[in-house]
Structure formats: structure tokens, C-alpha cells
Homo-oligomer: A and B are copies of this chain.
């Protein structure tokens, strides 16, 4: 066991995320399915656009962020899902063959008023490339089971 549970969370606690390599094939297959805008599918269009090169859909970046959060935290605790994103910023394009990593910081820990067996943990995530350039920022929350 990870030793992590609702009672062990505190504001300011940090978890390292990643690394995660974004391959060109992954980028294209996500875009084909969910975000087929020309600048996510065509190298020439992308290079001429404000993105400056073939870049991942923001929703792909967000989904990768979720995978990193699962691996670093949610799969190690009794997580019960989330109901919202409070803020999601795509700060810079994520290009093919970049490697992402980040930090999740706990920003709030409280019991649910309506469901006392559930805790609510708020957090923010900063995602960077290997050179330390900020790529995305998110604020969200997760419900966590409270041990009886």
C-alpha cells in the first residue's frame, strides 16, 4: 500500500508527475478522433499557424495530465471520481516528441457536508516540458473515501 489516504493529505503537499513522452503518432491519432482541426493534423498548416508546428490538441494534453495524476496519486488512494475542472489553461503548444512532467499541489482538504464518508481534495497541477517551459495549468478536485 502507498500509505496515502484522506487523513494523510495536507495543503501544500506535492506530488511529482511524469515523465510522459508525446509521440507524433499519438498526437495525430488523438486529433483524428477528437479534434480534427487542420493545425492538429497537417504539419504545413500547423507550421504556418500560431502554433508554429504540429502540436497536440489541448484535450490531448489534458488527458495526458489525467493519466499522470492517476499514476502519481489517484491509483494509490481510494479516489471516488471528480465532478469538475475549475480552470484549465493551455499556456504553450505541446509539440510532437516533447516529454512532459509536472507537479500536483494539494490546495484544499475538507469533508463533504452532505456525504460525511467522502472527503473533497482540491489541487492544482503545473505541467512543463523537459526544458522547464510551462505548458499547462489546471485546478480541479477529487472525492476521496474517508476510512471509517
Q: Which residues of A contact B (CB under 8 A)?
A: 30, 33-37, 39, 49-51, 57-60, 62-64, 66-67, 70, 74-75, 79-91, 143
Contacts and interface: CB of A to CB of B under 8 A. Distances in A.
Task: For the complex of A and B, list the 5 residue pairs with the smallest distance between their C-beta atoms, beginning with the closest.
Answer: A85-B88, A34-B63, A59-B63, A34-B67, A84-B89
Contacts of A66: 34-35, 57, 59
Contacts of A59: 59, 62-63, 66
Copies of this protein, total: 2
Contacts of A74: 37
Contacts of A85: 85, 87-88
B80 A50 contact: yes
A81 B34 contact: no
A89 B88 CA distance: 12
For the residues of A in contact with B, the DSSP-based class is mixed
Contact of A89 (B39, B62, B83): B83
B79 A37 contact: yes
Contact of A70 (B35, B49, B58): B35
Contacts of A34: 63-64, 66-67
A83 B81 CA distance: 25
A84 B88 contact: yes
Given A37-B75, A62-B59, A51 B89 contact: no
A88 B62 CA distance: 12
Contact of A36 (B33, B36, B70): B70
